[in-house]
Amino acid sequence: MNATTQPIVRMQGLNKHFGELHVLKEVDLEVTPGEVVVVIGASGSGKSTLIRCINGLEEFQQGELEVDGNRLEPHGKSGKALQKIRTEVGMVFQQFNLFPHLSVLDNVTLAPMKVRGWSRDDAEENARRLLDRVDIADQADKYPTQLSGGQQQRVALARALAMEPRLMLFDEPTSALDPEMIGEVLDAMRELAKEGMTMVIVTHEMGFAREVADRIIFIHKGAIEEQGPPEKLFDNPQNERTQSFLSRVL
């Protein structure tokens, strides 16, 4: 395997417990560069925990996990690798988590200046380009509370992209949005997918998932039950649990 086909995420036999609760069970997951993986499953099945393990927001107890060649150790003993992963992996959450006391522009320039050491000029130029890309350049000087939810989520996306991530993680990015704003956020994500960004997305937007995903992963009670290309998984699921889940959400 050469450098270009090396997986960005390589997870093997991952187990995660919250006390007595066995939340992730022997999870194997490889994500290759440019791949868009959508994770689906019932509430409480472990989707958030799975993607939070990928950027070290949650510790795991057993298994192997490498993100872009950086190895995360069980029990959170990762040190430098963890710092590296945090700078290389962008994440967009259900709640937008913008800094309320900073303007839109400053939200996007902060990390590149602080973490990457970019000059203000460089960071601002890049931020304006990204804000334009998510169609929100005219809001640069506003504060988060002055924006709609859909606009805030697009700022959150621009902010994550400003770090030039190798991988983007999304945890139900449209679940907190009013219905009329879901489309604009999905559009921005669709663009990103087209440009070749490697993405792992937890979403309940099944139409979107079918359209952008290279692979759908169905997770049930912390274990991957079935996975495959969208047309196979949605139209011809093999597993009874997948069938039952899909019959409830489609």
Instruction: CB nearer to ligand ADP: give 46 or 112.
Output: 46
Interaction between residue 43 and ligand ADP (CB under 6 A): yes
Which partner in ligand ADP, Mg ion, none is near 45 (CB below 5 to 8 A by kind)? Answer: ligand ADP
Instruction: CB nearer to ligand ADP: give 45 or 55.
Output: 45
3-state secondary structure of 199: strand
Distances (CA, A) of 46 to 37, 114, 151: 16, 33, 28
Interaction between residue 55 and ligand ADP (CB under 6 A): no
Residue 121: which residues within 8 A CB-CB, separation 6 or more? none
Instruction: CB nearer to ligand ADP: give 18 or 99.
Output: 18
Which amino acid appears at position 72 of this protein? Answer: L
Interaction between residue 236 and ligand ADP (CB under 6 A): no
Asked if residues 53 and 61 have their Cβ atoms less than 8 Å apart, the reply is no
Pairing verdict, β 215-220 and 36-40:
parallel
Interaction between residue 48 and Mg ion (CB under 5 A): yes
Interaction between residue 48 and ligand ADP (CB under 6 A): yes
Interaction between residue 242 and ligand ADP (CB under 6 A): no
Which amino acid appears at position 39 of this protein? Answer: V
Least distance to ligand ADP, CB of residue 64, Å: 20
Among 7, 46, 56, 63, binds ligand ADP (CB under 6 A): 46
Interacting span for ligand ADP (CB under 6 A) from 27-35, 40-48, 109-117, 132-140 = 40-48
Least distance to ligand ADP, CB of residue 218, Å: 11
The size of the interface with Mg ion (CB under 5 A), counted in residues, is 1
Among 12, 13, 28, 44, binds ligand ADP (CB under 6 A): 44
Asked if residues 121 and 129 have their Cβ atoms less than 8 Å apart, the reply is no
Cα–Cα distance between 201 and 192 in angstroms, integer? 12
Interaction between residue 47 and ligand ADP (CB under 6 A): yes
Interaction between residue 86 and ligand ADP (CB under 6 A): no
Q: Would you list the DSSP string of 69-109?
A: TEEEPGGG--THHHHHHHHHEEEE-SS----TTS-HHHHHH
Cα–Cα distance between 143 and 152 in angstroms, integer? 9
Among 21, 146, 238, 244, binds ligand ADP (CB under 6 A): 21
3-state secondary structure of 196: coil
Binding site for ligand ADP (CB under 6 A): 18, 21, 23, 41, 43-49
Binding site for Mg ion (CB under 5 A): 48
